[in-house]
């Protein structure tokens, strides 16, 4: 049995611990949302996006144009320029994006290193910005990872 004097002395510690826990949770960026029953919505969803630039200015010469599409159920399909790819996408507040479970086929291709840069961009994407027909991905450090153009 806990003595009343011990319980009384531990209340300030419990209150302090609760305050610290609440402050820590409040400072975190909210996790991206999972698809709802209605599905994902937004300008990224349902469009085909073709690679425009890696970083702010580098164009890649690939056997085929890298592209991706996000469906309303959160699935990503596309090509890294050499291989078919598929994965999952979660969208959150403030243009948050998270690409997970990204996998590619293993076809031979002379530009495998550049193809890996394309998939790396998708896996590292933290936020996005859409300006007219352009989609730009930013990393967690706010650095531009690359740009995509909406396919017509």
Domain housing 119: 1-152
**SS3 assignment, position 118:** helix
Q: Is 97 in contact with 128 (CB distance < 8 Å)?
A: yes
Q: Report percent pLDDT > 90 for the chain.
A: 66
pTM of the predicted structure, to 2 decimals:
0.73
Paired tokens of 22 = 């609440």
- Picking from 56, 66, 63, 73, the residue whose alpha carbon sits closest to that of residue 145 is 56
Provide the pLDDT for residue 1: 52
Q: Kindly give, in sequence order, each residue whose CB lies less than 8 Å from that of residue 103, ignoring residues fewer than 6 positions away.
A: 85, 86, 87
- Quickly tell me which residue has 């300008």 as its tokens: 43
| Sign, Cα dihedral of 50, 109, 84, 63 | positive
pLDDT tens column, 83-108: 999 999 999 999 999 999 999 997 77
Q: Is 104 in contact with 123 (CB distance < 8 Å)?
A: no
The total number of structural domains in the chain stands at 1
Does the structure show a pLDDT above 90 at 138?
yes
Does the structure show a pLDDT above 90 at 79?
yes
For residue 65, the domain's CATH number is: 2.40.128.270
């Amino acid at each position: 049995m806990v003595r009343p004097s011990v319980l009384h002395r531990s209340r300030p510690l419990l209150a302090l611990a609760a305050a610290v826990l609440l402050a820590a949770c409040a400072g975190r960026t909210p996790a991206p949302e999972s698809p709802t029953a209605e599905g994902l919505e937004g300008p990224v969803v349902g469009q085909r996006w073709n690679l425009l630039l890696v970083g702010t200015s580098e164009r890649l010469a690939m056997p085929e144009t890298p592209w991706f599409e996000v469906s309303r159920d959160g699935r990503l399909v596309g090509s890294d320029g050499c291989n078919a790819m598929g994965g999952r996408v979660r969208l959150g507040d403030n243009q948050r994006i998270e690409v997970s479970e990204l996998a590619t086929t293993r076809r031979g291709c002379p530009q495998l290193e550049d193809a890996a840069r394309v998939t790396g961009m998708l896996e590292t994407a933290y936020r996005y910005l859409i300006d007219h027909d352009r989609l730009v991905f930013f990393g967690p450090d706010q650095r531009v990872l690359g740009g995509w153009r909406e396919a017509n």
